[in-house]
């Protein structure tokens, strides 16, 4: 895909969703971190239902760190891997409260050292909270980037690196949310809504072209 087409794609996505943002509900950077940890292999909708109860009981790192694992489990038991996640968010809460007085550090390596936080979660925080020009590649973005030949790769890290390199600079900060929303609601895994796709004419999907040229 050539640079001109990439600019057109992001321009159209930006026009379609000018205020693209996460669908996770939160009222502080700490709450977003917890929500993103819980979102692994879970939908934002299910996470929001769980965090509504959890954050009502404990809205800060200090409050959450004082809860027992069993108590946290009762709030998030509808989410996949809830037992492991309950342990992780308590440990993370304790570390953040003890070392940063409840604030989220603007530091990738430190974020990735927290229980339950990997590169994707760290990227979400760095981008959403701090406005860093990084892209968190989840299943939706991985599928979309490969399907339309925006930035191909065999794994999320490869796609992330290519997207970061190839995305027009003026759209880099917004790229994560623009792509994830398009992948979630339009360019779906099964039965993508091509008839409603604002970038349909620019798509290089294998469904439309027998051979996809490398980026």
The predicted pLDDT at position 209 comes to 41
Rounded-to-integer distance, Cα 213 and Cα 215, Å = 7
- Compute the residue count for the chain: 215
Task: Parse the chain into domains and list their residue ranges.
Answer: 3-20+135-202, 29-128
Q: Which of 120, 174, 196, 207 is catalytic?
A: 120
How far is it, in rounded angstroms, from Cα 111 to Cα 106? Answer: 8
**Span 10-28, pLDDT tens digits:** 999 999 999 999 999 999 9
User: Residue 212: pLDDT above 60?
Assistant: no
Burial grade of 17 (CB within 10 A; 0-12, 13-18, 19 or more):
middle
In this predicted structure, what is the pLDDT of residue 89? 97
103-106, long-range: CB within 8 Å, 24+ apart, which pairs? 103/29, 103/30, 104/29, 104/30, 104/33, 104/129, 106/130
pLDDT in tens, 15-67: 999 999 999 999 999 999 999 999 998 999 999 999 999 999 999 999 999 99
User: How many other CB atoms sit within 10 Å of the CB of residue 8?
Assistant: 15
- Catalytic residue, chosen from 85, 138, 165, 208, is 138
What architecture does CATH give domain 3-20+135-202? Orthogonal Bundle (1.10)
pLDDT digits (tens, 9 = 90+) for 87-139: 999 999 999 999 999 999 999 999 999 999 999 999 999 999 999 999 999 99
Rg value, the chain, Cα:
18
pTM, rounded to two decimals:
0.90
Structurally, at CATH architecture level, domain 29-128 sits in Orthogonal Bundle (1.10)
Q: Is 138 a catalytic residue?
A: yes
pLDDT at residue 208 in the model: 46
The string of DSSP codes covering 145-212 is: HHHTTSS--SSHHHHHHHHHHHS-GGGHHHHHHHHHHHHHHTS-SSS--GGG-TTGGG---TTT-SSP
Q: 81: phi > 0 → left, psi -120 to 50 → alpha, else beta; which?
A: left
Contact 25, 34 (CB under 8 A): no
Q: Confidence band (pLDDT; 50, 70, 90) for 1?
A: confident
Confidence (pLDDT) at 206:
53
Rounded to the nearest 5 percent, the helix, strand and coil shares of the chain are 60, 0, 40
């Amino acid at each position: 895909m050539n640079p001109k087409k990439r600019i057109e794609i992001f321009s159209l996505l930006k026009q379609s969703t000018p205020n693209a943002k996460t669908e996770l509900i939160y009222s502080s950077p700490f709450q977003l971190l917890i929500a993103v940890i819980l979102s692994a292999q879970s939908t934002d909708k299910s996470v929001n239902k769980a965090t509504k109860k959890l954050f009502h009981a404990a809205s800060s790192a200090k409050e959450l760190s004082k809860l027992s694992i069993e108590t946290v489990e009762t709030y998030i038991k509808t989410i996949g891997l809830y037992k492991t996640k309950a342990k992780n968010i308590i440990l993370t809460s304790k570390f953040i409260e003890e070392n940063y007085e409840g604030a989220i550090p603007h530091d990738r390596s430190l974020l990735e050292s927290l229980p339950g936080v990997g590169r994707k979660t760290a990227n979400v925080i760095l981008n959403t909270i701090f406005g860093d020009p990084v892209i968190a590649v989840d299943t939706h973005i991985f599928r979309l980037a490969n399907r339309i030949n925006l930035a191909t790769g065999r794994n999320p890290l490869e796609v992330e690196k290519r997207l970061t390199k190839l995305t027009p600079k003026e759209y880099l900060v917004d790229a994560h949310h623009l792509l994830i929303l398009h992948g979630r609601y339009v360019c779906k895994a099964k039965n993508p809504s091509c008839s409603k796709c604002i970038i349909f004419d620019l798509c290089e999907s294998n469904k439309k072209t027998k051979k996809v040229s490398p980026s």
